[in-house]
Amino acid sequence: MKAVLIHRHTGGATLALGDVPEPEVRHGQVRISVRAVSVNYADRVVPQGGYGTPPADGVPWVAGLDAAGEVTEVGAGVTGVRVGDRVMAMVPAGLAEQVVADARFTVPVPPAWSDEEGAAAIVGLLTGCSALNAADGLRAGESVVVTGATSGMGLQAVQLARHLGAGRIIAVARSDRADGVLHRLGADLVLHSAGPGFADRVLDATGGTGADVAVDHVGGDYFPDLVAAAAVNGRIVNVGRAAGAEATADLEAFSLKQLTLRGVTFRTRSPAELAALYQQVRNLDLTTLRPVIARVVPWQQTEEAQGPGSTGTAVGKVVIRVA
């Protein structure tokens, strides 16, 4: 079958279509005929060795971190998923004509959604559910601040916070290019900040009490502002580290406010934990959580779509159409 392969070499990495064997369906798994895959931030760092150890130089492997398409085969022991179902999943090596996934780790694509929308939504839904339910979860009426709000993940975090009953939602973005979209998705206020320095504005917007929950897609030097902008008993959940993996914090303020810091990742979760998270997503009314797509490109343009400048000015997810 055809797939987009990452070819890593001493000078970096390149992506190109190639041939790989079809995956085998094992107990509890389903085969998906892939129709669409989205571009994620991790796609830019995986070829360089981020998020795990890549194969040795010269050994190609299949790109992609999610997939949406039609189930064409179910393995022994599978219940609740049938041949012909359209599903979306966070699955490695998604940029191929076929993928195999644990049936527990799939979500039905809503009938009114396209396959492209399914691919665009799944990682953000899983991440957003994980972030907003972390550290005692989001309570109805609580204020939420979302950094990196114009990214595909940020947009879905705003949308999901509104869906789950948040009170005041404050989006932090580098520019005003997505203000209209952010307000439509549920943001009450959009703050423009190309770096740190937004804490006072969050405090002003919350009447001086601060944000109850912060969903941070940026990390780095944004983190001290999140501590300063947090309410007493606030929760800071780090999802991404686009501005850097290291940060400093005022531990006096952290202790005084009795804050909780939580990280979100899928790499260290047990199968049972992942299955529970997928069930949370299946329990959502997805008809109100349609993702924002910036553009759709053919998979022959994967290398360009996953390049460092591809999503920098995009509002929403870039999606790759397979075959």
pLDDT digit string, tens, across residues 264-300: 999 999 999 999 999 999 999 999 999 999 999 999 9
Q: Write out pLDDT tens, residues 18-32.
A: 999 999 999 999 999
Tokens of 207: 């009447």
Average of per-residue pLDDT across 214-224: 94
Residue 236 belongs to domain spanning: 135-263
* Pair (117, 169) in one structural domain: no
If asked whether residues 117 and 140 sit together in one domain, one would say no
Whether 199 maps to a domain, the answer reads yes
Structure-token match 């780095």, residue found = 220
State the pTM of this model: 0.93
State residue 51's pLDDT score: 59
- Please, what is the average pLDDT of the chain? 92
Q: Which long-range contacts (CB under 8 A, 24 or more apart) does 281-287 make?
A: 281/107, 281/122, 281/125, 281/126, 281/129, 282/107, 282/108, 284/125, 284/129, 284/163, 285/163, 286/107, 286/110, 286/113, 286/121, 286/125, 287/110, 287/112
Count H helices, E strands: the chain? Answer: 9, 16
157 and 143 within one domain: yes
109 plus 11 within the same structural domain: yes
Beta strands in 246-287 (DSSP E): 260-263
pLDDT confidence tier of residue 53, bands split at 50, 70 and 90: low
Q: Please report the pLDDT score of residue 52 as a whole number.
A: 59
Residue 29 lies in a domain: yes
Are residues 101 and 150 part of one domain? no
Is 299 strand, coil or helix?
helix
- Spatial contact of 152 and 171, defined as CB atoms under 8 Å apart: no
Residues 235 and 277 in one domain: no
313 domain residue, yes or no: yes
What are the structure tokens assigned to 74, written together? 């179910």
Provide the 10 A C-beta neighbour count for residue 10.
6
- Is residue 309 predicted with pLDDT exceeding 60? no
Please determine, for residue 319, whether its predicted confidence score (pLDDT) is greater than 70. Answer: yes
pLDDT > 90 fraction of the chain, expressed in percent and rounded: 80
Tokens standing for residue 147: 């950094």
In a domain, 85, yes or no: yes
Q: Is residue 129 part of a domain?
A: no
> Which has more confidence, 47 or 150?
150
Q: How many domains does the chain have?
A: 2
Q: Tell me the two tokens of residue 81.
A: 């998923």
Claim to verify: residue 38 and residue 156 sit in the same structural domain: no
Indicate if 142 and 84 belong to the same structural domain. no
Whether residue 158 has pLDDT greater than 90:
yes
What's the pLDDT at 54? 64
Residue 59 pLDDT greater than 60, yes or no? yes
Other CB atoms within 10 Å distance of the CB of residue 284: 16
| Residue 108, both tokens | 């039905």
Domain check: are 116 and 56 in the same one?
yes
Inter-residue contact 36 to 305 (CB < 8 Å): no
165-212, pLDDT tens digit by residue?
Answer: 999 999 999 889 999 999 999 999 999 987 778 999 999 999 999 999
Q: What is the CATH number of the domain that holds 190?
A: 3.90.180.10
Co-location of 106 and 34 in the same domain? yes
